[in-house]
Amino acid sequence: MDISRRMFLAGGAAATGGTLFASAILSGIDSAAAASTPPRTGADPDGYTGGYGPLRPVAAADEPGAEYFALPAGFSYVVFGKTGTPMVSDPSQRNPSSHDGMAAFHGPGPTIRLTRNQEDRNAPGEGTVGGPSATRYDPLAGGGVTVLDYDPRTRRVVRDFIGVNGTHVNCAGGIAWRHAGWLTCEETVAGPADGYGRKHGYVFLVPIGARATARAEPLTAMGRFSHEAVATDRRTGVVYLTEDAGSGRGSGFYRFLPRDPARLSRGGRLQILSLKGRPRTDLRERQKPGRWLPVVWRDIDDPDPDPVIEAELPGATSVFAQGWAAGGAKFNRLEGVWAAERSFFIASTSGGDAKNGDVNADGYAEGYGQIWEYAPGEHDGDGGQLRLAFESPGGSVLDSPDNLTVSPQGNLLICEDDAGSVDGDTHPLAPGLVDVNRLIGLTRSGRTFEFLVNRFSTSELAGACFSPDGQTLFVNVYGTADAGSGFTAAITGPWRRGVL
């Protein structure tokens, strides 16, 4: 199998001031590659390593003997912000659980400011995200965002606090226009009927200059649905949003046209992606890679439905049901989205023709994952184009893509969240673990390679992002509610030696 023929980014890339750019021209994928799945000893069956060489167990620089990851030679890392440990600035507060989406900004002085989602799913009245009661959106919800100021000189967190609290299931998010803050997203539509004090399913802004917990205010015009991630067009301020309604349910790709990109609270218009001349298209499988598809956008009449009915039935009121009725396209579990220079890359966790063995309640057999690319139109009335950029031919190549980012050299780095219950894959670098998760690189020439293997646990990897200067990669081990099960890592090394 020649994975170099399977897709991807043929244009150049550059990084300036923390903004990552990439131009993509995609070629076709060899559909015959899906016929077999090679042993999971590397992403590319030809042994391609992205220029970094083979992986081997590496101990954390601040915890000798603790070999959390396998990495290429020359790379090192530190860990911090472990679930349940005291926070630096206020030891009476504990680091919350469920580390998920994240972004890196210029921080005060020499620091890098991290905004880290806490995807706390605890029952009403419980939860692990502390902070002042006066700033909570919902006093019965225990999720939110942690802000950590990391000093790359000492490789330590020097300041941390709760950025937003009283939210629920803060999964991923994205960077607001002109890096004004972090848009954190709730992956739930829970509400008072479920025992919570207020409706959930919204996007919230964490201002990047905040020095204390911000009052959480929902951006209701951006929709009430199971949000996953967002990405902002740096030219126009248009916000693109992914939805993960769960396996066996339709999920859409949306855009928000703000009245004022600098003040999203002023409202705007929410729309769902639809294929021109092909209303209600199911894109979960049987798609031709590399072919551009013209797009039109359909308005969502009621972006804040109440009550929310998830079933795709006549008269259903959910955002996706409205969009599907209007002709929107259907994906399976859209997760990460990241802005490149003139396009956006989107992960569908379990789309694709190579099946992982799990079958959803609606009869859809899950795939190993897809990466889509959307290119906006150049003028009003031009809806842009969409194409399938990459489709995994098997779990050894890419298994369940989730969060993703564009590297300083313009290639993709993808977090795996292998939630499959059938294939039970293992990895020689993670002995004793089943359903192992990795960071997978995807190059401009279309080759995949392993950059990191999680040998600490079977937890998903999340929140991968590079520092503004491109010298540090941050990534989360999601973990559980158990102390020490989740953490953030900062990885440094000879980046220029390879393609990231």
Tell me the per-residue pLDDT of 40-70, one tens digit each, with 9 for 90 and over: 666 787 889 999 999 999 999 999 999 999 9
Q: Letter for the amino acid at 86?
A: P
Residue numbers of the domain that contains 116 = 3-497
**Least confident interval from 124-128, 309-313, 408-412, 480-484:** 309-313
What is the tens place of the pLDDT at every residue in 160-187? Answer: 999 999 999 999 999 999 999 999 999 9
Render 163-213 in DSSP notation, one character per residue.
Answer: EEEEE--EEEEEEPGGG-EEEEEEB----GGGT-SS----EEEEETT-SSP
pLDDT band of residue 1 (cuts 50, 70, 90) is very low
**Nearest alpha-carbon partner for 427 in 398, 455, 448, 447:** 455
Tell me what pLDDT residue 424 has. 85
233 closest CA partner among 376, 104, 384, 385? 376
| pLDDT tens-place string over residues 204-240 | 999 999 999 999 999 999 999 999 999 999 999 999 9
pLDDT tens-digit map of 343-355? 999 999 999 999 9
Question: According to the model, what pLDDT value does residue 491 have?
Answer: 99
How many Cβ atoms from other residues are within 10 Å of residue 395's Cβ?
24
Judge contact between 305 and 293, C-beta under 8 A. Answer: no
Residues 6+ apart with CB under 8 A from 259: 266, 267, 268
Preceding amide of 152 cis, omega within 30: no
Query: Where do we find the tokens 């209303």?
Result: 279
Q: To the nearest whole number, what is the mean pLDDT of the chain?
A: 90
In 3D space, the residue among 349, 383, 365 whose CA is nearest the CA of residue 278 turns out to be 383
- Distance between CA atoms of residues 186 and 202, nearest Å: 6
d(CA 327, CA 443): 34
Please give the C-alpha separations between residue 346 and each of 154, 341, 343, in angstroms, as whole numbers. Answer: 35, 14, 10
pLDDT higher for 71 or 421? 71
Q: Residues 268-308: pLDDT tens digits?
A: 999 999 999 999 999 999 999 999 999 999 999 999 999 88
pLDDT at res. 311: 62
User: Count of H helices and E strands in the chain?
Assistant: 1, 30
Paired strand residues for 490:
78, 474
Report the predicted TM-score, pTM, of the whole model to 2 decimal places: 0.92
Structure confidence at residue 361 (pLDDT): 82
pLDDT surpasses 70 at 395: yes
Q: What is the CATH number of the domain that holds 295?
A: 2.120.10.30
What the block records as the tokens of 472 is 């540090």
How many domains does the structure of the chain reveal?
1
pLDDT digits (tens, 9 = 90+) for 75-84: 999 999 999 9
